[in-house]
Structure 1
């Protein structure tokens, strides 16, 4: 701060805390020095300043930008409470503690991050340059944005100033901290980190989000400093285009995939001289099962303090516990999107489909062989599975994954769709990117909630979602599967995109017997063989699906198997189909009432 700014600050501090000083100035009731207009006109006389230099101090408005002073009602100005508390000895011991922290304990290496090598080179070059830099890190939470900023500071031998988040999340205090940190940080050696900057940078209003920051205010802030700033935000769609243009460089942080986790885990084990401790299958299983970032992996390995003599079974159990808990804390649930495709006792025998599934599988196996031999493979397999619930559509996808040795990347409508404008389309693009990078089978369940028929759509966003999916499908090089119970609810143009359109139908009479023998017969404890009469009853049950057999099996889970009979099982199956007939009748009467 300049001497003039310090004198103004001292004047208003005395005015706020000294009754004697205030009474002395209030002796002339016509002159109120707390009024901005009066102090601007007469303040230079009280402080003994030359008028032009005094006005120059006010023209910069730094005392207001740094949230030291504020304008209140009726045009009056006063010191902010935090400043009064600090000057009175009630605040932090050091002024800097009000605005930022200087800790930089980061165990990750720059090679641990899923950022391209070219981007890392550019980042290092910008940090080491002498010019002002505004760098934006954006992307989904938990992908290592803050960790990379700390790692960059350490690698480039810079001091990291992390702007403090106010305890009450007050927006004005946040801006004050940013301005103060920029002012205090040393130009040549400092990086200023503004973490969780969504509310500061996202200046565009939407139906669900009202900006707290003026666009011109942000743009002026980005242009007026002379430091190196790294801004971190989870979403960039609310940042105005004029603001985005003011960033020197921006890096998108994408969700870690299995390959990313495997790379970090191997690097950390190598650093601790534990390479070879786990075999490839064990490492791959850990990285596939737990959706954690680099920090979670490194913390887990460091916390356990593995030694070569430690039993591997014990170590694996501990690692799984740590990774599972970390995953629950960071994303709120266990990752259910990536499946290995391992199914027990699954068989195509008895399924009733519109196409021969063996022929479909043969085509897919030839495709994967071709894909493995051709790195630049422009071709894709697009498959649509449709039919009533319980017919085995999803199970077939996981069966495919097992046969082709591919992970299943499951994407449900609930996690794709977002209330933010443009965010759903971004999630769709991210799903295809993730499937491409992992070489997974990309599986969209509940396809009717995504591929809206554009001619019948009532909202522009429905058309936009369908258009985005079709665009991504056209450029995708891999296997993508959509499943739906309502094929009539799909866009017609989308329907034509699929090379394989397979309808899953209720089981045939022979299929009924096949599934009964494979799923329900083992529940009978004795050697009671199905009689011809029982077989005939099973064959006559209409509209059975594989899912019905699974439900009946679950019903018997806690029943004494010695008491389970074929007659009971057959009656349970018939009851499942009666429920379906009941639904049809209700739907019919409801339609008549309209």
Structure 2
């Protein structure tokens, strides 16, 4: 006896198997010649099976009397004995009753039920499984003959039951795996837990699938939390209501977006609005183990038979398991691609409306995309909405300032905050209020970093508008305050701000948004340029779409990085990026601000699309002195004397950015006097190219 067989024989403890199992076991061994592998030259392939069949005297034969011919004759005798009484052997009541209930729901024939019962038992009864696997490699074409011999069913009926279009196959309960070689692998059950429950006790069919399909919890968000997709919901809700009332087939909706935007909650909210039940195809079993995409699809197929007559929706979360689980590098197709025809039929004929949820749809085959009734992107909510959702999830845990800081980050999904709060809330007693805020910030920033996003801006954000900001301190060729008033009246405009670095172009965009009472959406050239073909154009379109959705002022900094003159373009994407930019500018109905340090390189057609081109320059003398005085007051520095002001006048080419840089230095290298501030400003000026000359007001 091998060590492995000895180990299994010692460790296994079996209840007395069913008599019908004994019948099928001996048929497999004798009628289908499984004994050739079971009875080896000097031992059995399974001692446990031998003991069960009454061959125990040969299991521990120490006298060398193991004789294959004698054992085969004994097996023949036992086979004849069980066949004489085979018609009186029945399937256990729990299995038979559950199979009949499934047959009623799924439209299974008597032959289908017999096969289903057999497949469940070969997976549930180890000895039967060992017996049928002694048949060796089984070809798919031989399955009808094998099952006909074992179950005493007509070959034609078995063949029909095993067809891919049969009721049994369409139910998803049993699948013929053409890649497996042994019989238990060839006849695959939907799940081992399902097989166990089928044999345990008679129960309602849905209980049999509780590890694969579950009712979802109630929605935590309301329809008012999704106002940022109101136009889509205005179509989706009536359509789903119509589908439920008319039992329309082939209704599928794809909802996608970055993690944490509330996609799963949206499905629950829709079900509540439609007053219907919502069931989820789970991604893991009761033990927390993942369920692969193929088995999840089979579970989805099962739901069609159970809920087709109910007012219900199905949600298939993490649908990447099906549509994007392949690997092109290994030439391995996704689950959906390897079953393309079947998937297409399912998407066109499913009885229960299904909401498919994914974090991305980049890998979705166009053949599937066109079969979805709606493809809905769920973006991160706009700032006001984020703040309301975050406030609801944090309660009194965080102060108002912290909530505003969290809501101000456009890449932060509310679910990330909710997860951080779940961690911090139980230990809040050991933390002070400041430490609680810091702990949440720590957890959120860690997640943002992994996602490739910027961290939460610090409390003293250097990119925020300084208290000293005033458009009067900007040297421009137009009255910037008047421009702001005009945009407040009209609400639409396209501005191009150009000039040297630090002259206040970006800050003016922030001031403008503040004056208009709108959020500011800032995108830099590096945010929009993509390494992928078509990616830059997609990012540009997404930026304008996001600004329109949030009713935000869109500020694109460093616009020269992708809006260069097409006449000098050397790559095709440089041309298509400009074309996309022009298209979006033409159709945008809000305030768009572009800034650049390199005006001469911009595309001429793009320049014509701007309503106003504003030149920002170095500060004029009186502006520089006024700003110098303002910063001295803000930093608590004594007023400058006349001599100091004369010294200040010798500085050349000052910008508001120079003053902002010196103010930031003051935080860690305090400036005690106006003279020290001049020294710091001079250092900033000296690093600029061609900064010689005086301001010229003295």
Normalising by structure 2, report the TM-score: 0.64
1:348 to 466, 471, 485: 471
> Cα deviations across residues 75-118 of structure 1 (Å, max 9, x unaligned)?
97435598346536799995312312213321333344323363
Question: How many angstroms does 1:176 deviate by?
Answer: 3.5
State the alpha-carbon separation in 1 of the partners of residues 497 and 200 from structure 2.
Answer: 64
**Which residue of structure 1 aligns with residue 378 of structure 2?**
253
1:549 to 659, 666, 673: 659
**Which residue of structure 1 aligns with residue 253 of structure 2?**
135
Q: 2:344 aligned with 1:231, yes or no?
A: no
Give matches, 1:63-462, under 5 Å. 68-72=175-179, 77-79=185-187, 83-84=191-192, 87=195, 95-114=208-227, 115-116=230-231, 118-119=234-235, 120-132=237-249, 133-166=251-284, 167-168=289-290, 170-201=292-323, 212=334, 213-214=336-337, 215-258=340-383, 260=385, 289=408, 343-353=466-476, 355-356=477-478, 358=479, 360-371=480-491, 380-417=492-529, 422=534, 424-462=536-574
Q: 2:166 aligned with 1:48, yes or no?
A: no
SS in 2 for 1:557: helix
Q: Judging changes above 3 Å, is the alpha-carbon distance between structure 1 residues 67 and 320 closer, same or farther for their aligned structure 2 residues?
A: farther
Q: Judging changes above 3 Å, is the alpha-carbon distance between structure 1 residues 325 and 90 closer, same or farther for their aligned structure 2 residues?
A: farther
Q: Judging changes above 3 Å, is the alpha-carbon distance between structure 1 residues 299 and 502 closer, same or farther for their aligned structure 2 residues?
A: same
**Which residue of structure 2 aligns with residue 277 of structure 1?**
none
Question: How many angstroms does 1:138 deviate by?
Answer: 3.3
**Which residue of structure 2 aligns with residue 558 of structure 1?**
668
Query: What is the alpha-carbon root mean square deviation over aligned residues?
Result: 5.0
CA contact (8 A) 2:465 2:507 kept: no
> Cα deviations across residues 313-348 of structure 1 (Å, max 9, x unaligned)?
xx9x99999999889968876677x99986412133
**Which residue of structure 1 aligns with residue 142 of structure 2?**
38
State the alpha-carbon separation in 1 of the partners of residues 633 and 200 from structure 2.
Answer: 74
CA contact (8 A) 2:197 2:208 kept: no
CA contact (8 A) 1:7 1:47 kept: yes
CA contact (8 A) 1:92 1:98 kept: no
Q: Judging changes above 3 Å, is the alpha-carbon distance between structure 1 residues 45 and 452 closer, same or farther for their aligned structure 2 residues?
A: farther
Question: How many angstroms does 1:394 deviate by?
Answer: 0.9
Question: How many angstroms does 1:57 deviate by?
Answer: 1.6
State the alpha-carbon separation in 2 of the partners of residues 260 and 539 from structure 1.
Answer: 49
CA contact (8 A) 1:352 1:505 kept: yes
> Cα deviations across residues 257-289 of structure 1 (Å, max 9, x unaligned)?
2465689899x99xx9xxxxxxxx99x979974
State the alpha-carbon separation in 2 of the partners of residues 546 and 208 from structure 1.
Answer: 56
Question: How many angstroms does 1:547 deviate by?
Answer: 1.7
CA contact (8 A) 1:343 1:399 kept: no
SS in 1 for 2:153: coil
Q: Judging changes above 3 Å, is the alpha-carbon distance between structure 1 residues 81 and 42 closer, same or farther for their aligned structure 2 residues?
A: closer
SS in 2 for 1:113: helix
Question: How many angstroms does 1:205 deviate by?
Answer: 9.6
CA contact (8 A) 1:130 1:188 kept: no
CA contact (8 A) 2:214 2:281 kept: yes
> Cα deviations across residues 397-433 of structure 1 (Å, max 9, x unaligned)?
1222333444322223454455666555444334323
Question: How many angstroms does 1:51 deviate by?
Answer: 2.1
Q: 2:679 aligned with 1:571, yes or no?
A: yes
CA contact (8 A) 1:552 1:573 kept: yes
Question: How many angstroms does 1:552 deviate by?
Answer: 2.3
Question: How many angstroms does 1:396 deviate by?
Answer: 1.4
SS in 2 for 1:53: helix
Query: What is the aligned residue count?
Result: 546
Question: How many angstroms does 1:475 deviate by?
Answer: 1.6
State the alpha-carbon separation in 1 of the partners of residues 489 and 622 from structure 2.
Answer: 34
CA contact (8 A) 1:390 1:548 kept: yes
Q: Judging changes above 3 Å, is the alpha-carbon distance between structure 1 residues 127 and 89 closer, same or farther for their aligned structure 2 residues?
A: closer
Q: Judging changes above 3 Å, is the alpha-carbon distance between structure 1 residues 287 and 347 closer, same or farther for their aligned structure 2 residues?
A: same
State the alpha-carbon separation in 2 of the partners of residues 456 and 51 from structure 1.
Answer: 74
2:576 to 428, 451, 464: 464
State the alpha-carbon separation in 1 of the partners of residues 224 and 444 from structure 2.
Answer: 22
Question: How many angstroms does 1:390 deviate by?
Answer: 1.7
State the alpha-carbon separation in 1 of the partners of residues 330 and 683 from structure 2.
Answer: 47
CA contact (8 A) 2:473 2:656 kept: no
State the alpha-carbon separation in 2 of the partners of residues 220 and 12 from structure 1.
Answer: 26
SS in 1 for 2:592: strand
* Higher RCO structure, 1 or 2 (CA under 8 Å, sep 6+): 1
CA contact (8 A) 2:174 2:190 kept: no
CA contact (8 A) 2:348 2:371 kept: yes
Q: Tell which deviates more after alignment, 144-153 or 166-175.
A: 166-175
Question: How many angstroms does 1:478 deviate by?
Answer: 2.4
CA contact (8 A) 1:384 1:483 kept: yes
CA contact (8 A) 1:300 1:319 kept: no
SS in 2 for 1:554: helix
Structure 2: gaps (5+ residues): 1-101, 103-107, 202-206, 422-432, 693-698
Question: How many angstroms does 1:194 deviate by?
Answer: 0.7
SS in 2 for 1:361: helix
